[in-house]
Structures are given as C-alpha cells and as structure tokens.
Structure 1
Amino acid sequence: MKPSLQLKLSQHLALTPQLQQSIRLLQLSTVELEHELERYLLDNPLLERAEDYALAANAPTTGDGEIAPRSDAPAEPSESASPDEESWLGEEAAYLRQPGSFDEDDDDYHDVQAASISLREHLLSQLGLMTLSGRDQVLVGCLIDALDDDGYLTQALDELAESMPAELDIAAEELQIALIHLQHLDPTGIGARGLQECLALQLQALAPDATRNLALEIVHKHLELLGNHDFQKLKRLTGCDDEALRAAHLLICSLNPRPGAQYSTADIRYIMPDVVVRKLRGQWTVNINSDAFPRLKINSLYAQILARQRGSGLAGQLQEARWLIRNVQQRFDTILRVAQAIVDRQRQFLDHGDVAMRPLVLREIAETLGLHESTISRVTTQKYMATPRGIFELKYFFGSHVSTEAGGACSATAIRALIKQLISAEEPTKPLSDSQISEVLGQQGIVVARRTIAKYREALNIPPVNLRKSI
C-alpha cells in the first residue's frame, strides 16, 4: 500500500479545568467539600472565609467573583400561615438566624453523651475494693482486659493461661476462680462466655420464685426453642401453661444481652443537611442550609495589590479563587434546583408519609431540569434534605415501582410502609405470613409477589412469621 494523507473531521468533548473542578465539587458530600475547601484556603492566599457573611444561598456573584450577601433574609412566619406551619417555620427561622443551631432545634437530634467511664475502669474500681490476694487481683485484672466491648469473655480459659508468662505458672483452675470473682461484679452478667451464661447469671441474681425458676430452666435447656418461638414445644417440655410461659418470656426479654455495651463509646456521626424543606402558605419550598454553605471571598488586600501590579504572579491564583467561588455557588444552585424538583413530585410524602411516596427515577428529574442523568446522580449522592418528617438522603426519594390493577404505579417505599403498617397491626398470636400480606395488598389493588414481600420485609429488618409469633 502506498502512504497517503487523509483529512478526517471529528468532535470530542474537552473538559476545561474550571468544568473539571465544577464536576468534582458537585459529587462531594458536605464534609468532603469542607476538606477540599480547606486545602484551597491553605494553598491560595487570595481566598479566605467571610466569617460575618450573610446567607449566601442563591446570592449573585460580584465582579470580583465574590458571592454577594443576600438582602432577602429568611422571612418570619406570616399571619396567614397555619399553626403547624408556624411551629416548623419558627424553629427553622431561629436556626437560620443562629449559625450552628440546627442540631439544637431539630427534634430528630438527641443529646447522646459518651460514657464518662470505660468498662475496664468501672470493673477495676470495684476490684480494688475486694478483699483478694495480690495474685487473685492480677488474675481478675487479666480477665477484665480480655473482655470484649459487650462484656463477654470470648477466649477460652485454657488459651488465656497458655498466653500468660510461664514464670507466673498460672493454671486454668486459678482463672476459673478468678472468673467467678469477675462475674460477681457490676453489671450483672459480665464475664459470661456466651449469651446463655449471660442471661443465666442475671436470673441467678434475682430472688427465687416460680417465674424466675422457669425462666432459668428455659435459658439452661431450651433457649433455642424460645428463640424460634416454638411455644407449643416449650409448654410440653416444661409442663407450664400459657400464663406461666408468658411471664417467663417477658422476664427473659427484660434481661440485658450486652451488659458491657453501656460503657462503650459509640461512634456517632452527625449529618449536615444541604437543604431545608418548609411549608409556607400551603406550598413546600426548599432553601439552602446556611450552615452547610461555605462563605468564601477574595482577600481585598491582595486584590488591591494585584490591581496595581499587573505582572504579579498572583494573577493565576486570583483566577483560581474566582473559579472556586463560582463553582461552589453553582454546586448549591444545582442542589437547590434538584431538591425543589424532587419536593414538587413528592408533596404527598411530605403531607402523608411513606405510604404516599410516588415512584420516581433520575431520568424524570433530568428531563425536567434539562440536565444529564449522571449530574442528577452526583447531586443526589451524599446530599441530605431536612424535612418536618426527618432528614433524608436525596436518593431516598427515588425508587422502583410496582404496577397496580388500575394501571397505575406504586413506589417500593410506599409498599414497604404498607407492609410495616400491616405487621404492626397484626395479632401477635396469629401474625401475617408473606403470602397473606401479598393477598391483603392485592385486595387493595397492589399486585406484589410473595418473594417481593419477603425481600421488602427483610430490608425493614422484620423477622419472619414464625419469629413474630407470641403466646
């Protein structure tokens, strides 16, 4: 073949650095965005935070790329607002006026105080008051160090004895005695080697009576049957009647299967909502959460210096700072548009709850706003909406649908809510099976297969029918 020259025309998409930054900021969560902005603030001297900044949501940018403060502060509840609107609006207005106060006003947040003393410290303080020899105190201390967060001793005594220094010459029998001392400490049930022993220790600490003795027998011999709710077989093996078994069952359920958990420090993660939904004059509207909106501006001193010295090396950093401020603003504008579009389609959910959730897919929002589905996917991932019904990830409002006999569609979220309602209202002695739930929904015009009911029930962490049955 002879070499030849050919001219070929083609189109391709070139992402500018500004567009790449915009896409990256859009997919970040609020926490990740803060970390990213901290990096920019350290690297770029022209960029700084505006501490006394007004609410910047939907604010226009100035000629220098700064976000201009808004003059339309959140309005107080109007006289025409209904009482329920006023209560919600009043709380939200207070939080918008006071940065950082959202967690304090919202009822969904509860004060969770970390344990002031660890399980190990609690047990060692009691050990110091016991009249034991020095060797016995050391052995009990070793067992305390071997407990897990729930207060269980998961390692066998033989293994513990072998793992200790040989010069101590510790036998498993000595550890057995030390374990008895440990199991007499508070909280009751500590140092158990399994659930059965943990429950038995707590029952043995109670005053003997018929109910306690029956409960102890069940825990020692028939705990698996109790877990499977096989009450008929339990009555046959123990020779008790319904009333006695019911009392023993309630007593066992009142015990603490994790006695050491109350001293564990929980890993608590708080969610900062990106947008807040409120009802004003009968309409659900969305506003950017001022606490989630980063307040950035151009450093005026450096900007003045740069204006006088055109050849300064800070010109590139000035342009980068302007891009960042505009892209942050665009990020929240896009989140606001998407959130409002979601709220417009899920008004019934906000009014009536999960049972009124309508089917919704990303494509529907994308077509409404003239955006790509991938953009909607980025916006709805790890972005949260605060509503009077709680805080939800934006993705929560999207879901598959199930056809109805009338030719309509019912969302999977609504079906899960209906399943939860049916199970909560069922008779404890005759719980509904998955097939029966399917039949009940079918009578309401919602055709759902039994296996789909089982899948939704498991997603709700609801046990099967045999485990929900009570005496």
Structure 2
Amino acid sequence: MKPRLQTSLGQHLVLTPQLRQALHLLQLSSVELETEITTAVESNPLLDWEEPESISVQPPSERGSTQEQDSRAEHEAGNRDDAEPVSAWEADDGWHERVGGSGQGHGDHDGDGDAADRMVQSESLQDHLSWQLHLSTMSARDRNIGIALIDAIDDDGYLRESLDDIVATLRPETHATTAEVAAVLCRVQRFDPVGVGARDLGECLRLQLDALHADTPGRATALLAARDHIERLPKLGAPGLADALGCSPEEAATALQLLRSLDPRPGAQIGNVPHDNYVTPDCVIARQNGVWRVSLAGNHFPRVIIHRGYEQMIQHACASDAGYLKGRLQEARWLLKNIEARGETLLKVVRCLVRQQSGFLEFGKRALRPLTLREVAEEIGMHESTVSRAVARKYVHTPRGTLSLKDFFDSGVGTEGGGEASSTAIQHMIRGLVEAEDPRKPLSDARLAELLKAAGVPVARRTVAKYREALHIVSSHERVRIA
C-alpha cells in the first residue's frame, strides 16, 4: 500500500491555551489574580490600565436586568452553555452595582467583616484533599483509609508509599485489605487537582487524560503512550512512538503535544501556591428588601482595557510587526474574556450556595445544612473539579462577616426524621449543651449522645467525642467546677 495524504473535516474538544488560562485564573485568589493581571499589563503592550474617571456605575434604568446578566454568566471556564432560569431570590433588576474593592456590602454585619483584619490560613494539599474527603459520601471505615492515603501523598501530588504500607499504617485501629485501600484510592484520584494520588508519572498523566473528552485529538494514542512507553518517550520522539504503537507520525505527534500540555506535578497547584496575607472578598452577599442578593466585589471587574493606540497601529505596521501585535491582541482579548468568565462562574457558584444555605446566612452555623461539591456541580451544570477550583481560597462578605466559600459546605448525619443534620450544626448543638450544663455535674460524651438522640440526631458516643475535641472542649471530668 502506497502512503498518501488525506484530508478530513471534524469537530473536536481540545484543551486550548485559552481554556487552560481560564482554569488557571479560576483557581486564583483575589490577590493572586491582581498579581496575574499586573504581570500581563507589564508584558503585553496591547493591555493598559483603565482610567479611574472612566469607571462609572450605570443607573438602574440603563443597566441590564439580572436575567440578562445571568444569560451572559452561563458558561464554564470560557465555554458557554444553556442559560438557566432566574430564581425569585435574585430577580430584582438594577441591584448589581460596583462594590468597593474592600468588599464592603450592604446591610448589617458583625465586627469581623473587615477584610484587612482577617488573616488567611495557609492551605496545604493535604488540607484541600481532606476537605473534599470530608464532603464525600463514604463509610467511616473508608474515610479512615482515605485519611491515611492523603497523609501519604507528597507535595507534588504523588502517592509514594505502597498500598501494603498503607495497610500496615492503618493497624490496629482498622484492618483493611489491599483491595479496599485500592478502591478508596480510586475515589481520592477523582479529587481536585486532577491527577493527584498517582503512584507514578504514567498514572498521573493517564488520570488527567481520562478527565478529557473522549473526542480530544490524540487522547487514545496518548493513553497508550502513557501506559506502555512513558519512560522511553524522551528517546522515542514522534517517529519512534509511531513505530512502537503502529500509528501514523501525525497521530503520534498529536499525542505527544497533548501529553506535554498536562501537568506532571498536579499537587504543586495547591501546596506551592503563594498565599495571601489578608483576605480580600471575591463576592458580596447582602439582603435587600428581605431578599438575599449576590454581586462581585469591585476588584473583580476588569480594570484593564485594550490599548486602542497599539490596536490601530496594526493596520499600518509592517508584516512582522503586525503579526506580533495581532498575537498580543489575541492574548489580551483572551485575558479579558477569561477574567469575565471567572467572575461569572463565581456568581453562579455563590448564587447556588445562597439558595442552598439561606438558613446559614439567617441563623448561623446551627442552620447549616449538608451540602457537597457534587450537589452544587449538578445544580449549576459544572464539573466537580470546576466547582472546587471556584471555591478554593475564595471569600465572601456577608452580614455575618467575611466567610470562606468552604464554610458553606458540610457533610451530614442522618436524623430520625429521615433528613440530615450537618456536622457543623451538630457541633453547635454540642457547644450549646456544654455551655448550659451544671458545672458541678458536666455532661459526659454518652449523656451528650443521649440528648442529641432525644433531639432527633442519633450520633454515637465516639462521634460526640470527635466533635467535642474539634471544638477544643475538654472531657467531662476536666470540666468539673466546684462553686
């Protein structure tokens, strides 16, 4: 058979540089985003800072309705999807205004609402994974296995210990088999960031490839290369890989390009990201006329514009200069579009959280209901990893102070009424019982468990002990006070 050239026309989903930039911007905190924008303005002549006097707030009659804003906010990380209906709690036109960069919202708020006074706690990769494990639906046994696996994952996101070693570390509290540990590891490997929990580079790349759409060009070939030839890839190159896999050089080159676009150290996205010294709220949640409203804080509105002078120079520049300026113009447009997409994604997530946790905003932690990443992802039509990126290191200014978006999520415990009570709400109940106890006869963990069961929340004594320790409440014999 003679070699021949063939052309074909088709549509494929590709992880383009624009989409990668959108995902990168989404996981940044406010201060990190500000640094990213500053770097872009300094390196790209087509970007310029917006003049302060040009920033103005349109009156309600000139601004688009909330429904019109929502129709622009219905895409995930740069890819638009179908518009969702506007719910009653966000149907008021003309409320979304620019809010000052300090994130101050409307309505009453308590003393810890000052963003400059609230310090960010550094979040490690283990913290990020443990938070996702806490929200996952699994048995206490599997959760203990998951904790041991997460503790064994290094800062790059790799599991360096063998499964047999994990089994040994679980004893004598938990006697698990290697198969059970492997099953829980599969669940941990679906956490954000994609590729975490891999035992070697090949598995790390395969996990990231599995997360891509099946129609991604070169995906099938890249999976084979990552499985069978990962160590030899630097020496093989595209021609050698084509011979080894029995595919065309073009297919091998596409697969290699796709592999190069993946992250060999996914854990570094979380563990080594520089953290802010202070909290800057990303959104503002406030009450207006008895209805909860959500808006972006002022710092989220793009304060950069395209430099019109350089844009007009493209028409008169020579071929080489015009090519350079066109490339930088495209980069500038991508950045502005992705900044806007980041804000719209945040609005979708926060609006969903307000719908789900309005009781938390009204009455505090005792009214926090169980909520997981999967529930939010299903409601707003996004992937769990995208919601996790949108929530990571993000804060909102509320009448209850400046809160982390992670505060709106919690796991649940089944109640006798058939519903669920969040672990945070149960801790709040325990604290209330302890504060009201007789100091001469403090309540034991068993007695606290009985009182919670009488209130319709059946929990085991060891669970009460765990929650009590999390609240930094000493045991009953240490709380005895003689009047």
Smaller-chain TM-score range? 0.5 to 0.7
Residue 418 of structure 1, aligned match among 429, 433, 452: 429
Check the 8 A contact 1:48/1:296 in 2, yes or no: yes
- Residue 306 of structure 1 aligns with which residue? 314
Residue 338 of structure 2, aligned match among 317, 322, 327: 327
Structure 1 residues 97 and 354, CA, compared in 2 at 3 Å: closer, same or farther? closer
Check the 8 A contact 2:26/2:342 in 1, yes or no: yes
Q: How far apart in 1 are the matches of 2:464 and 2:104?
A: 38
Q: Does 1:434 align with 2:440?
A: no
Q: How far apart in 1 are the matches of 2:311 and 2:372?
A: 46
How far the C-alpha of 1:417 sits from its partner, in A, is: 1.1
Structure 1 residues 12 and 323, CA, compared in 2 at 3 Å: closer, same or farther? closer
AA in 1 matched with 2:36: E
Q: Taking CA–CA contacts closer than 8 Å with sequence separation of 6 or more, which of the two structures ends up with the larger relative contact order?
A: 2
Paired residues for 1:162-241 under 5 Å:
none
Structure 1 residues 450 and 371, CA, compared in 2 at 3 Å: closer, same or farther? same
AA in 2 matched with 1:291: N
Structure 1 residues 398 and 44, CA, compared in 2 at 3 Å: closer, same or farther? same
Check the 8 A contact 1:46/1:317 in 2, yes or no: yes
How far the C-alpha of 1:109 sits from its partner, in A, is: 4.8
Larger Rg: 1
- Residue 270 of structure 1 aligns with which residue? 278
How far the C-alpha of 1:23 sits from its partner, in A, is: 0.6
What does the per-residue CA deviation read over 1:134-172, in whole Å, with 9 as the maximum and x for residues that have no partner? Answer: xxxxxxxxxxxxxxxxxxxxxxxxxxxxxxxxxxxxxxx
- Residue 395 of structure 2 aligns with which residue? 384
What percentage of residue pairs aligned between the two structures are identical?
44
- Residue 107 of structure 1 aligns with which residue? 111
Q: How far apart in 2 are the matches of 1:20 and 1:281?
A: 40
- Residue 305 of structure 2 aligns with which residue? 297
- Residue 17 of structure 1 aligns with which residue? 17
- Residue 316 of structure 1 aligns with which residue? 327
AA in 2 matched with 1:28: L
Q: How far apart in 2 are the matches of 1:98 and 1:401?
A: 36
Residue 283 of structure 1, aligned match among 285, 291, 312: 291
In structure 1, stretches of 5+ residues that fail to align are: 1-6, 62-79, 81-88, 113-266
Q: How far apart in 2 are the matches of 1:315 and 1:321?
A: 10
How far the C-alpha of 1:268 sits from its partner, in A, is: 10
Q: Does 1:407 align with 2:450?
A: no
Say which SS state the counterpart of residue 281 (structure 2) adopts: coil
Q: How far apart in 2 are the matches of 1:101 and 1:352?
A: 22
How far the C-alpha of 1:429 sits from its partner, in A, is: 2.0
AA in 2 matched with 1:319: Q
Say which SS state the counterpart of residue 102 (structure 1) adopts: coil
Q: How far apart in 2 are the matches of 1:416 and 1:339?
A: 24
What is the TM-score normalised by the length of structure 2? 0.53
What is the TM-score normalised by the length of structure 1? 0.54
Say which SS state the counterpart of residue 270 (structure 1) adopts: coil
- Residue 457 of structure 1 aligns with which residue? 468
CA RMSD, 1 decimal:
3.6
- Residue 466 of structure 1 aligns with which residue? 477
Q: Does 1:47 align with 2:58?
A: no
Equivalent pairs, count: 282
Structure 1 residues 270 and 55, CA, compared in 2 at 3 Å: closer, same or farther? farther
Residue 396 of structure 1, aligned match among 404, 407, 414: 407
In structure 2, stretches of 5+ residues that fail to align are: 1-5, 59-65, 74-91, 118-274
Q: How far apart in 2 are the matches of 1:445 and 1:22?
A: 45
Q: How far apart in 1 are the matches of 2:408 and 2:442?
A: 30
